[in-house]
Amino acid sequence: MGHTKWLTDEEMRTWMVFIPTATLISRELDQQLKEDMGLSHLQYEILIHLNAAEHGAMRMTELAERLINSKSGLTYQIGQMEKSGLVKRRPCEWSKSGILAEITDEGRATLERAAPGHVEKVREILIDVLTPEERAVITAGLGRVRDRLIERNQGETCW
């Protein structure tokens, strides 16, 4: 077993600020979307990805990878959203085993209604709190962390 390289005081402060901040941001965004639209943050992100996709549809496996979500978790969410008329599932034309998730007109209308309140909340809790310089540093740093984690987890079945 190797020698543990303990966190310095400065590194510990970074870690101890990051964890609750990430949790609080997620909680705030989820609460705003639930109160305003009856959507979870994950469901909103599903609508965003499907709306941006060619023909408003994506293979479920690709959608799970983009959302960094398990296939079973995505299947559950899509099922809930299908009941609400926001999305529909259909067989993939180019793959016998593939299933497409497709945004419906109601899903697009819901996304259009949800976006202004969501953007206002993102501005309130993150964007407008930071200077442009702080945002640039956070974007670069967290982007590297995200990319490293995605690269490390390539090929794992949960994504």
Domain limits, the chain: 25-125
Question: Exposure pattern of 7-42 as b/e (b: 16+ CB <10 Å)?
Answer: eeeeeeeeeeeeeeeeeeeeebbbebbeeebebbbb
pLDDT, residue 155, reads 53
pLDDT, residue 156, reads 52
pLDDT, residue 71, reads 83
Let me know if domain 25-125 sits in CATH 1.10.3720.10: no
User: In the chain, which residues have pLDDT < 70?
Assistant: 1, 95-97, 155-159
pLDDT, residue 114, reads 97
Over residues 5-41, the pLDDT tens digits come to 999 999 999 999 999 999 999 999 999 999 999 999 9
**CA neighbor of 44 nearest in space, from 97, 87, 89:** 87
pLDDT, residue 119, reads 97
pLDDT, residue 148, reads 94
- pTM, two decimals, is 0.86
pLDDT, residue 70, reads 83
